[in-house]
Amino acid sequence: MIQHLIVFPVVLPLVAGILLLYQRQGLVRYKRTVSVVASILLLFVSIALVNQAASGDITYYALGDWQPPFGVVLVLDRLSALMVLVTSILAVGAVIFACGGDDEKGSNFHGLFQWQLLGINGAFLTGDLFNLFVFFEVLLLASYALLLHGGGKARIQASVHYVVLNLAGSSLFLIAVGILYGATGTLNMADMAHKLSNLPAEREGLVTAGALMLLVVFGLKAAILPLYFWLPRAYAAAPAPVAALFAIMTKVGIYAILRVYSLIFSDQAGGLVALEQPWVWWLALATLAAAGVGVIAARDLRLLIAYLVLISVGTLLAGIGMRSPAATSALLYYLIHTTLITGGLFLLAEMIGLQRGKPGTRIVKGRPLVQGNALALTFFIGAIAVAGLPPLSGALGKALMLNAAEGGERLWLWPLLLLTSLASLIALSRAGSTLFWRSHRGSPSGSNLSRYQWIGMLWLLSAAPLMVAFAGPVSSYTQATGEQLANPQLLINSLLPDAGDAQ
Amino acid sequence: MEMLYAITTGILTACGLYLTLRGRTFPVVVGLTLLSYAVNLFLFSMGGLTTDGAALVNEGTNIADPLPQALVLTAIVIGFAMTAFVVILAMRARSEVGNDHVDGKKEDHE
């Protein structure tokens, strides 16, 4: 049982998704129960996985007992365990929120939701480049359908862009994987890293091309500057629980960049060491700047939060661009914080929009809200956390990031990160004061919100104080993760015991 | 054979790319399909091109790399599903938005 634990985050949502397909309409209670129970089970499994990974051992699960490098493997190290945990925490919040009524606006919400979890968890756990592609496709297919959940013109238009871009991205992914396979003769990431250390010189060009094409693909998923234009519209149009789950989707891209370039193109990769670094670093800074402008310009609360997601993408990528264990540790702490808080804010925006009625989430004057005080208080907490003001987790995350920058990097990162924080602070305070204070006279609008929506939203936003209270254990875990990632030989040795001898 | 193969893949990719950049959904869908064909061909060639080789290791000396064939099979299945999805999506967009422009505009110039 315990040795099969690694495959559970993939199998559990798969089985739950199949159970949920039983009937397209109706059976609301049954579906909600199955989906919530599956998500909570996933949470327990991922806590167990983090416990297992925290010891520092790297374990793998060889499907069908085909040993690496030939078989398909799922690899559990500190990073993948952490990412699966963040996903499942987010999923529990989003699923509970969806039980408040969003799931019945279209068909098969819960089934698709579980399958998206399957794709995301698989992408985090896999140790194989082609399987990464397959899991990307699984999560994308589920996300296409989820983005359309409930229908409507805005969603369909955003979907067309999102689907076409991602299909083109998938083609590019396959080309890149093909090139890397052709040049190295393997698809297993650990084996590829091992093979790169004695790569014939004439193949370096090919591998460079493949590696940079992969960066384009991951950049599209993560929404780096020239490739982010799909994100604000898609996230603003998506149904709230889906948008909350999408908060982890950009992090899948970031995880892939972190994993592939720290493992395959590590210090052992000869002439190919850190070939992504200049691209990632400068594009991350440019993304930060563009997202800061976008946040100020957004006239809709959901669009504003979508740009906050972009700010987090820029910040995280800058952390990857610094390429040091300290920066990795800081960015992982920031990643947990930003995923959960932006997810919670998407849910909160939906609740505000529901209660406001006709003006929705547009930042304009409206009638006072029935539960205005409670919503305003949670918005205030969420805004403080996401803008990075003390005493909540955003401040700590950003301080860690700023602290991790060294020398010349400070010159660029400090002003940009602080200015975008200022921009988001201005935008959020403007949005909050318009939404809650500048209201018309008259009777309050809207009816009371569902209990489930409150629970789901508060579950995610409570991460902000909790991550400060438990900052010690969390940051010591992320520090250990950073060190583990900086030493990819550990992973290679545990997957390929023979590889060490050749060195 | 390599030359012919490379030219075919290249032309397919170029046509696919051109069509993907068009403004209407139908050419975009066709472009994506062409791109996925090109990608399948490309993947197939990544193990090296072998004629009359068995995709099994212990069958004589002339063997073809079996892995790209498995990869192509996966890629074809996924590509098929995606094409079906994007066709339906384009039709929904056409009926909901009222025209087939990818940005939902009536005319190319506004």
CB pairs under 8 A between A and B: 84
With beta carbons less than 8 A apart as the criterion, state whether A108 and A92 touch. no
What value does the CA radius of gyration of chain A take, rounded to a whole number of Å? 22
pLDDT in tens, A260-281: 988 888 877 777 777 888 889 9
Residue B33: pLDDT band (50, 70, 90) is: very high
> B26: Cβ–Cβ under 8 A, 6 or more apart, which residues?
B90, B100
- Structural tokens at position A199: 């790569």
Which two tokens mark A243? 């948008």
For A326, the token pair is: 């300290």
CB contact under 8 A, A159 and B74: no
| pLDDT for the residue numbered A503 | 41
Q: What is the model's pLDDT at position B59? A: 62
Angle at A256 between CA B83 and CA B30, to 5 degrees: 15
Cα-to-chain-centroid distance, residue A311: 13
Between CA A20 and CA B29, with CA A137 as vertex, the angle to 5 degrees is 110
Predicted pLDDT at A449: 84
pTM of the model: 0.93
Going from the N-terminus, what domains does chain B have, and what CATH number goes with each? 1-48+65-100 (1.10.287)
- A154 — contact with chain B (CB < 8 Å)? no
B-chain residues near A160 (CB < 8 A): 25, 89-90, 93, 102
What's the confidence (pLDDT) of residue A500?
54
For the stretch A394-407, pLDDT in tens is: 899 999 999 988 88
For residue A181, give the nearest of B25, B36, B46 by CB distance: B46
Q: Is residue A356 scored above 70 in pLDDT?
A: yes
d(CA A273, CA A129): 19
Mean model confidence pLDDT for chain A = 89
B46: chain A residues, CB-CB within 8 Å: 178-179, 181-182
Most confident of A63-67, A225-229, A343-347, B57-61: A343-347
**Complex ipTM:** 0.92
**Average pLDDT for B27-39:** 93
SS3 A74: strand
Interface of B with A in 70-99 (CB under 8 A): 71, 74-75, 78, 81-82, 85-86, 89-90, 92-93, 96-97
Comparing alpha-carbon positions, the chain B residue that sits nearest to A154 is: B97
Residue A259: per-residue pLDDT = 92
CA distance B81 to chain A (A): 9
Mutate to test the interface with B, among A141, A160, A187 (most CBs of B within 10 A): A160
- Angle, in degrees to the nearest 10, between helices A204-222 and A249-263: 160
Residue A481's contacts (CB-CB under 8 Å, 6 or more residues apart) are A77, A78, A79, A82, A328, A329, A332
Alpha-carbon span A79 to A74, nearest angstrom = 13
**A445-474 pLDDT, tens per residue?**
777 888 899 999 999 999 989 999 999 999
From the centroid of its chain, how far is CA A79?
A: 13
Q: Which of residues A381 and B51 earns the better pLDDT score?
A: A381
DSSP A105: G
